[in-house]
Amino acid sequence: MAATAALREIRDEAKDRPVFPPPSLTARPIDRAAWIAAFHHVRDETERRAAPLSPEDQQVQSMADASPTKWHRAHTTWFFEQFLLRDHMPGYVLYDERLHYLFNSYYVAAGPRQPRILRGLITRPTTAEVAAYRTHVDRAVGALLAEAATEALATLLPILEIGLYHEQQHQELLVTDILHAFAQNPLGPAYDEAWRFPRPQGTPGSVPLPSGVTQIGHAGEGFSFDNESPRHDALIQGGAIDRSLVTNADWLAFMADGGYARPELWLSDGWLAVQAEGWDAPGYWRHGEDGWASMTLAGIRPIDPSLPVTHVSYYEADAYARWAGRDLPTEFEWEVAARDGHLPDAFGLVWQWTRSAYTAYPGYRPVDGALGEYNGKFMSNQFVLRGSSVATPGGHARTGYRNFFYPHQRWQFTGLRLSDARA
Amino acid sequence: MAATAALREIRDEAKDRPVFPPPSLTARPIDRAAWIAAFHHVRDETERRAAPLSPEDQQVQSMADASPTKWHRAHTTWFFEQFLLRDHMPGYVLYDERLHYLFNSYYVAAGPRQPRILRGLITRPTTAEVAAYRTHVDRAVGALLAEAATEALATLLPILEIGLYHEQQHQELLVTDILHAFAQNPLGPAYDEAWRFPRPQGTPGSVPLPSGVTQIGHAGEGFSFDNESPRHDALIQGGAIDRSLVTNADWLAFMADGGYARPELWLSDGWLAVQAEGWDAPGYWRHGEDGWASMTLAGIRPIDPSLPVTHVSYYEADAYARWAGRDLPTEFEWEVAARDGHLPDAFGLVWQWTRSAYTAYPGYRPVDGALGEYNGKFMSNQFVLRGSSVATPGGHARTGYRNFFYPHQRWQFTGLRLSDARA
Amino acid sequence: MAATAALREIRDEAKDRPVFPPPSLTARPIDRAAWIAAFHHVRDETERRAAPLSPEDQQVQSMADASPTKWHRAHTTWFFEQFLLRDHMPGYVLYDERLHYLFNSYYVAAGPRQPRILRGLITRPTTAEVAAYRTHVDRAVGALLAEAATEALATLLPILEIGLYHEQQHQELLVTDILHAFAQNPLGPAYDEAWRFPRPQGTPGSVPLPSGVTQIGHAGEGFSFDNESPRHDALIQGGAIDRSLVTNADWLAFMADGGYARPELWLSDGWLAVQAEGWDAPGYWRHGEDGWASMTLAGIRPIDPSLPVTHVSYYEADAYARWAGRDLPTEFEWEVAARDGHLPDAFGLVWQWTRSAYTAYPGYRPVDGALGEYNGKFMSNQFVLRGSSVATPGGHARTGYRNFFYPHQRWQFTGLRLSDARA
Amino acid sequence: MAATAALREIRDEAKDRPVFPPPSLTARPIDRAAWIAAFHHVRDETERRAAPLSPEDQQVQSMADASPTKWHRAHTTWFFEQFLLRDHMPGYVLYDERLHYLFNSYYVAAGPRQPRILRGLITRPTTAEVAAYRTHVDRAVGALLAEAATEALATLLPILEIGLYHEQQHQELLVTDILHAFAQNPLGPAYDEAWRFPRPQGTPGSVPLPSGVTQIGHAGEGFSFDNESPRHDALIQGGAIDRSLVTNADWLAFMADGGYARPELWLSDGWLAVQAEGWDAPGYWRHGEDGWASMTLAGIRPIDPSLPVTHVSYYEADAYARWAGRDLPTEFEWEVAARDGHLPDAFGLVWQWTRSAYTAYPGYRPVDGALGEYNGKFMSNQFVLRGSSVATPGGHARTGYRNFFYPHQRWQFTGLRLSDARA
């Protein structure tokens, strides 16, 4: 009776806590149930995101940068089977060895893999077979977590944890990739008719940036990716950063002022992209009889001037800032302002381009083994984005989170916030 | 009573006749039931061929030359809706006007259309929705044929007839396209585990070709495509043509003699293709621990030396003939020998490359309108193949039939038969 | 005295004969002086064509299909050194072995060679060094011809003869290649300010083509390339062929009628070329303030409506014929009409596209060895042109001569003459 | 007499001063003679570098990144004519207006220009004509400088100064571009048989980097490019930097350890470059019978293990550092160490890759007008190199100089120096 009451109490307490993120790896005693709940929460979210999609939808790869929904579902499953079950569950037999070639992404150390560009050609296993693969691995991971000795959990949980954050990244890609695929269809299908972009809360004006040396990078007990470390000193020059995101109304003014036709506003590589791609508006915008509209997760919708502009590349963000006589913030300026709570709309609307090239923090070394391929090998030719977007799963992002994309890419929910650098 | 007996008699008679080809357009009285039966026969065959394929399989386009199964099913349906129902069924309302953009192939006169290379990106309409489209059009065509005034049939049947032959061509492509798609999958899935290549009947040796002027091209009452006309005089130089097809055993001898490594055996453009594509064997061949195997409709199977070689390009066929000190026949030499009944394995195994470039017969003029785009506009850079293949639907081919492909293409069931030109 | 008088007589007689073509190979006694004269005549003509060009002009390769002037001068020299001096002049030492890699064109059997596309990057040997190479080889060939035993000449002269015709082909390319290079220069330099296109002599109307079997291909004692053999029977269907070439005035009417904007007039591959290349007029035409002008050997000149149209591709010629409701002749129809003397302007203005794909005559076999690579290996994807052009050297062409180019190529002086096929 | 003696005195004094760099812009009184001398010194150096090259050599463009020698000579001349003579010399008439289209490089604001990739196709003006253009402009500039009122010089000299540094940059490119062109020639021609790579002076070991905030960027009176400003605070984290450059011996050890075959050592984009380009050694290295050799300005020479490695891309430099368990320095670390005099071989051997992406200093704004296109528009996707190379003209570089190239480029004299970042 007392035991039951205690258990109920624990559960009641858990109800108030979000299931994700899971507890800190260093928390003791280890809350096994919380980790199992976090695992199923993340796995279920992937399925929830795939649910509106037909087998045909899940098959398609609409460009080299994107992947089929089916592939995302299988690859995230492969990740747990490869790094958790195969290496750490005694007696575990691979569900189907052939899947390891098909669903490895870019982990060279984990063996050969299907060329990225050909992912969309793999019609078998089917969507249903991938669902069965997921179910199998979910059960095995659930059993492993439930039955592992407490000491073993110290080894398992760090792998589990990175697997969960990894799957969340693919959840975001799943949504942005299918939006890209649907945008190729002249019929403009909707992923979710009821979807709406959230309204921003930012107010006009900017907040000053404190000049001086400060600490940047991950600290404390929660999860972070390796590219957020080591924590180190950085110098903030001062200046100020806007409280609000650049809006569609702002962008229409840029367009009206010839923004896409004035080479002096653009980086040299950006101007090449404008000409090669024929850009004259943000991604997915199309001009119709009733003015500008955009392909969205709810299908084709008129542009709402009050919403943040999204699907702009770094080149466009940079040109806009030059046009406005302003700057993009550095990633450190953004981080300092965000951790002080001065950036409304930092999270949940659009990733915000910074003018920081994506490079290693001083003294950074990737972790050993295949998981070391996670972040470090992309540290050239990309720019850092901070915050998170409407497609980012809950609990995934944080102030120190470093997202990165090539400056020409714009199929993510990417926008911008301006700043004024101190001259 | 008498009527019923008469009807039964007709049906009994029909049982002995193949349902396809349908009666001659000039046969009187018009056998309405036979045409309806032919229509359903062809339409059903497409569905029968698609039946083993999952929605994912039907979605994929594995190269620019191929199309998704779903697209073949929809496009052949569009053809009947566009040219028969819309133009000739009073009061007919299009099933869904948007499909006309998606499922027009290359009929420029029939309006704009989805770029060929992007066919694989159209996930909606789904496979199930395409099936519903087929059903709808089938019913409408059935009703039109059943209810049209006899005089109206004279207009309808020529369109129906070309639609049937058109759909049969897509039936062959459906099979060869999915074989290409499956060949990209490292798992090597089977379209039909029980599928086997038919055994050839040809015997050694050759038959002489009669020299002199003869008539070439379509004659008589049956169907033919416009590129088989006008019937005209042609000069046969003499020489001889083989009774059997070139086999895998023959081809292995060519390979063993360095056939793919000796530029002097190849046309200049062919040698470029060898180097660019890395060809060292026929299409779909792969060398494994147990020797050469090939991706087939039944999955990966060992090479059977006694079967005809297939999936060879014109460049390969030409190089083989040069290596053998022999010739490929002209299309006229093939036709003359075939109509005299001297060519075992002419039909039903592999299309046979001829050394005739695909050009117009003297005085050829395409028919007016969109259907005139059928054949004539491809009369450059391609070579004629004669006969038919294992993938060709029953009743489709004939002695005068002219198939054509680019000399580098080899995803069809294409082989060869040698000859000796008279010097 | 008598000897001197006899010699003078011979010389006087020679004055009345053109130096080129040289005597028949079978003529006896062998006229050694005539062959030496023919050799120097051809070699000098190359130099005469290169003379207006600066070292910089001679260095440039403006597209993959073209070659630098310097390369033409060196390659034709290499041909004599490789096939005549090295193989047949006792004790001959190569001028510079390294040149053999640089100046072999496509003779795979003659060893590895500089990739075609990189010919323009070879700045050394310089133009002056190539001139020295020419002088050296000219002297050696002259000595060989002067001193060889009469019996040896029977071996040497066939090689010499093909070398002379080979060099003449490069003389034509030298001119058309430099025209292409100059056309890339916004300044529009002139190769020869005084150059003028010859006026055509053709009269309106057509001549009938005799139907029936006739002999086609090379006959008699003069030179011919291997692709003109074997002589064989061919069937002429009848019809008629125009006495005059299509003119610029005709072409302007085609353009005014939307010729370049109506896909129904074009072969499928041709329409792709129109779109990919942005063709809206013949090659080198440009529209300025004073109407259409064209880049010519004399620089940019206004279009003269009465001159034959030139720099049109096969695709354009074919589209024009379709627009006109006429045909292009077959190569055999052209040959029959030309040898009967019924084709004004057959030679010396523009090569005339025929609707014959370039294939082997029945029983054709290439000659053995490297010289066998001359013609046969190009027998796919090209069309035959007959006649000769303003850039063709005197004495080079003949009624049975078969020129060939890809259907998209138009940097040669290529035009057309219409016909009416018998239906 | 006294005057003459004074003049002699000035000349004697001048003899001890290098002619380049010229005096500071702010020095008063303005030393007109020194500026004229600097102008002629720089102009003569270009001619000196072009002198060993034939007209053919000067014509060629061997890749899109390179330009013909002739173009460098003309473009640097255009720069002075465009920005100095046209805008500031009263009554000056352009030498030839058409050259402005041909020889503008990328100054969008200065008007349309010949597409970069086609520079090698412009055979006219010839090399001799470009020499005449240079002479004309040199005389005009000389006259302008000699005759301008003193007040006018305040406007002229800043333009002259940037023109001189601009021409020096093209002097370096002239040499590296012709090396690339010659490397395409199988004969391996030498630019200068007597050329030798200078011997390095660096000693083993490293020097510590002082941690703390320091000033970075241009200060003082000498010339600098706009990308070196504004001077600003930067934080140095500490660590250490090597006194010597990485040598060919070091690089051979990296190669022997599988450096080019181990993807885990490479950035993801770098590994793609290795595979796409087939890199297995630094640029211009080739393996022959006697081991590794390299194409150099003196032709093909054996690799000298004691010399600094050169012609390595950023990707290679980064992989090498990872292999060595070391780092590349940041550009600020390099600058701090260099200005303290701790970096032997900082200048005159190889540019040294840093791990700093090329971005703007805080508060950077490009200058107005066409000259503002000089540096800022390249601030994406490139990395900073510091120091200077064997091809850099004397007096050009300085401690704060920021060179930049794309991470895949390696036709410059680019090498590296390692460091240890403080973790």
B237 shares contact with chain C (CB less than 8 Å): yes
The domain segmentation of chain C, as residue ranges, is: 2-183, 206-420
**Contact call for residues A403 and A220 (beta carbons, < 8 A):** no
Alpha-carbon distance A393 to A164, whole Å? 11
pLDDT tops 50 at residue C41:
yes
Q: Which residues of A381-410 are buried (b: 16+ CB within 10 A; e: fewer)?
A: bbbbbbbbbbbbbebbbbbbbbbbbbbbbb
- State mean pLDDT over D150-176: 97
Average of per-residue pLDDT across C309-314: 98
Could you give the angle at which helices D127-147 and D32-50 cross, rounded to 10 degrees? 170
ipTM of model over 0.85: yes
Contact A59 B55 (CB under 8 A): yes
Mean per-residue pLDDT for D360-376? Answer: 82
Listed in sequence order, the residues at least 6 apart from A375 whose beta carbon sits closer than 8 Å to its beta carbon are A225, A226, A227, A366
Helix (H) / strand (E) containing B214: strand B212-216
Instruction: Supply C183's token pair.
Output: 């056309």
The CATH number for A14-183, chosen from 1.20.120, 1.10.1060, 1.20.1270, 3.30.70, is 1.20.120
- Please, where are the H alpha helices in B185-313? 248-256, 268-277
Does any CB of chain D come closer than 8 Å to the CB of residue A367?
Answer: no
Residue-by-residue pLDDT tens, chain A, 423 positions: 344 554 455 445 556 678 999 999 999 999 999 999 999 999 999 999 999 999 999 999 999 999 999 999 999 999 999 999 999 999 999 999 989 888 887 666 666 777 787 889 999 999 999 999 999 999 999 999 999 999 999 999 999 999 999 999 999 999 999 999 999 999 999 999 999 999 999 999 999 999 999 999 999 889 999 999 999 999 999 999 999 999 999 999 999 999 999 999 999 999 999 999 999 999 999 998 999 999 999 999 999 999 999 999 999 999 999 999 999 999 999 999 999 898 999 999 999 999 999 999 998 988 777 777 678 899 999 999 999 999 999 999 999 999 999 999 999 999 999 999 986
Q: Tell me which chains share at least 3 CB pairs under 8 Å with chain C.
A: B, D
Q: How far is B15 from chain C (nearest CA, A)?
A: 41
The pLDDT of residue A100 is 86
Chain B hits for A74, Cβ within 8 Å: none
Asked if A235 lies within 8 A of D234 by C-beta distance, the reply is yes
CATH fold for domain D2-183: Four Helix Bundle (Hemerythrin (Met), subunit A) (1.20.120)
Helix C127-147 and helix C32-50: axis angle, to 10°? Answer: 170
Q: Do C421 and B362 touch (CB under 8 A)?
A: yes
**C234/B380 Cβ within 8 A:** no
Residue B6 has pLDDT above 60, yes or no: no
Q: How far apart are CA A351 and CA A412, in angstroms?
A: 8
DSSP state of C125: S
Letter string b/e over residues B299-324, b meaning 16 or more CB atoms within 10 A of that residue's CB: bbbebeeebbbbbbbbbbbbbbbbbe
- The residues facing A291 across adjacent strands are A288
> How close is the nearest chain B Cα to the Cα of C234, in Å?
7
Question: What is the DSSP code string of D267-313?
Answer: -HHHHHHHHHHT-SSSTTEEEETTEEEEEETTEEEE--TTSBP-S--
Kindly list the residues from chain C whose CB atom is less than 8 angstroms away from the CB atom of residue D184.
118, 121-122
C206-420: CATH topology is paralog of FGE (formylglycine-generating enzyme) (3.90.1580)
* Cis previous bond, B198, omega within 30: no
pLDDT per residue over B172-227, tens digit each? 999 999 999 999 999 999 999 999 999 999 999 999 999 999 999 999 889 999 99
pLDDT band at residue D10 under the 50/70/90 scheme: very low
Task: Give per-residue pLDDT as tens, D38-74.
Answer: 999 999 999 999 999 999 999 999 999 999 999 999 9
Establish if D122 touches chain C: CB-CB under 8 angstroms.
Answer: yes
Residue B214 — φ and ψ, nearest 5°? Answer: -140, 170
Question: Which residues is A302 bridged to in the sheet?
Answer: A293
Q: Is B86 exposed, middle or buried (0-12, 13-18, 19+ CB in 10 A)?
A: middle
CB contact under 8 A, B59 and A62: no
Residue from the list A109, A268, A423 with its beta carbon closest to the beta carbon of D377 = A268
Q: Does the distance separating the beta carbons of A55 and B70 come in below 8 Å? A: no
Is any Cβ of chain C less than 8 angstroms from the Cβ of B234? yes
- The residue assigned the tokens 């107010």 is A203
pLDDT: which is higher, C112 or C162: C162
Partner B contacted by C357 (CB < 8 A): yes
Q: In Å, what is the CA distance from C370 to each residue of B232, B320, C39?
A: 40, 20, 22
Residue from the list B108, B232, B379 with its beta carbon closest to the beta carbon of C237 = B232
Please confirm whether the linkage preceding A125 is cis (ω < 30° from 0): yes
Do A56 and B102 lie within an 8 Å CB cutoff?
no
pLDDT of B5 > 50? The answer is yes
Q: For residue D134, count other CB atoms closer than 10 A to its CB.
A: 20
A186 chain-B contacts, CB cut-off 8 A:
98, 101-102, 114
Top residue of A229, A268, A272, A315 to mutate, by most chain D CBs within 10 Å, is: A268
Asked if C123 has any chain D CB less than 8 Å from its own CB, the reply is yes
Chain D neighbours (≥3 Cβ pairs under 8 A) are A, C
Report pTM: 0.94
D336 to chain C, closest Cα gap in Å: 43
Average pLDDT estimate for C350-356: 98
Whether B359 and C363 lie within 8 Å, measured CB to CB: no
Which of A377, A408, A420 to mutate to test binding with chain D, by most D CBs within 10 Å of its CB?
A: A377
> Which residues sit opposite B242 in a β-bridge?
B206
pLDDT at C302 over 70: yes
Burial class of residue C39 in the structure, from the number of CB atoms within 10 Å of its CB (0-12 exposed, 13-18 middle, 19+ buried): buried
Chains in contact with B, where contact means 3 or more Cβ–Cβ distances below 8 Å, are A, C
Half-sphere exposure in the Cβ direction for B101 (13 Å, CA): 10
Tell me which residues of chain B, numbers 262 to 321, contact chain C at a CB-CB cutoff of 8 Å. 263-264, 266-271, 314-315, 318
Residue D68 near chain C (CB below 8 Å): no
Q: How many CB pairs under 8 A join A and D?
A: 93
Q: What are phi and psi of C334, to 5 degrees?
A: -60, -45
Chain B residues whose CB is inside 8 A of the C263 CB are: 108
How close A326 gets to chain D, by Cα (Å)?
A: 10
Residues 6+ apart with CB under 8 A from A105: A75, A113, A116
CB A295 within 8 A of CB A197: no
Q: How far apart are CA D219 and CA D226, in angstroms?
A: 12
Tell me whether residues A56 and B127 touch, CB distance under 8 A: yes
Which residues of B are less than 8 Å from C234 in CB distance? 235
Q: Do chains D and B meet with 3 or more Cβ pairs nearer than 8 Å? A: no
End-to-end CA gap in chain C? 69
**Nearest-5° angle of CA C15, CA C20, CA C26?**
105
Answer yes or no: do A268 and D362 touch at CB < 8 A: no
Q: What is the pLDDT of residues C137-182, one digit of tens each?
A: 999 999 999 999 999 999 999 999 999 999 999 999 999 999 999 9
B59 contact A CB<8A: yes
Strand B351-357 versus strand B414-415 pairing type: parallel
Mind telling me how many Å the CA of D327 is from chain A's nearest CA?
A: 8
**pLDDT digits over D190-223, tens only?**
999 999 999 999 999 999 999 999 999 999 889 9
Instruction: Establish whether domains C2-183 and C206-420 are of one fold.
Output: no
Q: Is A15 on the interface with B (CB under 8 A)?
A: no
pLDDT at C189: 96
Average pLDDT over residues B392-414: 97
CB C119 within 8 A of CB C71: yes
CATH of B11-183, one of 3.30.160, 2.60.40, 1.20.120, 3.30.70: 1.20.120
**What local confidence, expressed as pLDDT, does residue D365 receive?**
85
CA distance D325 to chain C (A): 41
